[in-house]
Amino acid sequence: MKYIDEYRDAKAAKKYAALIAHLVTQPWTLMEVCGGQTHAIVKYGVDELLPESITLLHGPGCPVCVTPVELIDKAVEISSRPDVIFTSFGDMLRVPGTRGDLLSSKAAGGDVRMVYSPLDALKIAQENPHKQVVFFAVGFETTAPANAMAVHQARQRQIENFSILVSHVLVPPAIEAILSSPGNRVQGFLAAGHVCAVVGYTEYEPLAKKYQVPFVVTGFEPVDILQGIYMVVKQLEEGRAEVENQYARCVRREGNLPAQQLVHDVFTIVPRKWRGIGQIPQSGLGLREEYARFDAEKRFGLTDYGVEESSACISGQVLQGMKKPHECPAFGKLCTPEHPLGATMVSTEGACAAYYRYRRPVEQPLITL
């Protein structure tokens, strides 16, 4: 297949759904670990094509959603300073902290700008030498190479008014945290194709062996996802626990080696707190000592905040696959995209946002005589 509409072909999707139904002999619970896959599943009704014996859970696959509240608060604090231009991808602007969000900071007079690349932020720093320019570096392994490149270029070109607020997280440690949880019920995983395009999938092989769960690297269109589910179920039914690659058109086992080397040169692995989940050891990236002067937290002397998340928001349980968004009492009532309690409702990759957009019950219009 060459064109995107072929990966959305209804006949092909129904064919894979029928193959899955024919193959399955017992209940299985699977998890996708990518917000893009979650949105595709909900938008196209992929889960509704599956037999009832297959349960899909949504994992912590949205980097915006797992950015800790205290980092949002730090971003808001930095952006409110008169000597700062704060730059970010658009999906971070409305994520709520305890002190508001970046859009409210902009409304109060902060110079907050949406950019499409960290290199855009670096250019802004060059054009504004009398301002401190900060980029909010959020993401999984997918966005790490571009952020590493921006810091690397800033050092090479001696652009000293540029820094990044780092909130990088790594997927395999989060999966291991789920698998090692006493309440875990996930029996197989769809691994995010874009992450594996960068890092490959060798890191999943020890997890598959240790926990005896299959992994299938999967793309993002409906036919991709159904084929990935078929491959996971086939392994489960055959008693295998291996790592397979459905997304072969984009992913190699070893990944993108030059990108990995750049990330390794600039970043080091550190513990990281995940919003709604808590601290996961060795699950994040931080700047190496030789790049420490580009660390916004150090540059602005920020200390850790003791903050608490909204007790009305169950995003942590949603991110761990323990509950579905519509099971939250606040869903669609106290919590909406216009007034979100948590990041899973506001992010373009958040599970709550997907359910609100595609699965929210439509109120019947009043009929008057």
Q: What is the number of H-type helices and E-type strands within the chain?
A: 16, 11
Which ranges constitute the DSSP H helices of 267-311?
Answer: 296-299
The structure tokens listed for 228 are 């990935």
Paired with 190 in beta bridges are 32, 216
Q: Are 169 and 63 in contact (CB under 8 A)?
A: yes
Q: Quote the pLDDT of residue 308.
A: 67
Mean pLDDT by 10 residues, the chain (369 residues): 80 95 97 93 94 94 86 95 96 88 95 97 98 96 97 97 96 94 93 96 97 97 97 98 97 97 97 87 96 96 73 81 87 86 82 88 46
Domains within the chain, CATH numbers bracketed: 1-369 (3.40.50.11740)
Paired with 164 in beta bridges are 135, 295
List all residues 6 or more positions away from 345 whose beta carbon is below 8 Å from its beta carbon: 315, 335, 336, 337, 352, 353, 356
- Exposed e or buried b per residue across 9-47, where buried means at least 16 C-beta atoms within 10 angstroms of its C-beta: eeebbeebbebbeeebeeebbbbbbbbbbbbbbbebebb
User: What phi, psi does 349 have (nearest 5°)?
Assistant: -110, 5
The DSSP call for residue 60 is S
List all residues 6 or more positions away from 231 whose beta carbon is below 8 Å from its beta carbon: 214, 216, 244, 246
Q: Quote the pLDDT of residue 367.
A: 44
- Exposed e or buried b per residue across 249-271, where buried means at least 16 C-beta atoms within 10 angstroms of its C-beta: eebeeebbeebbebbeebbeeee
Give the pTM. 0.90
The DSSP call for residue 85 is E
Interatomic CA distance for residues 103 and 120, integer angstroms: 19
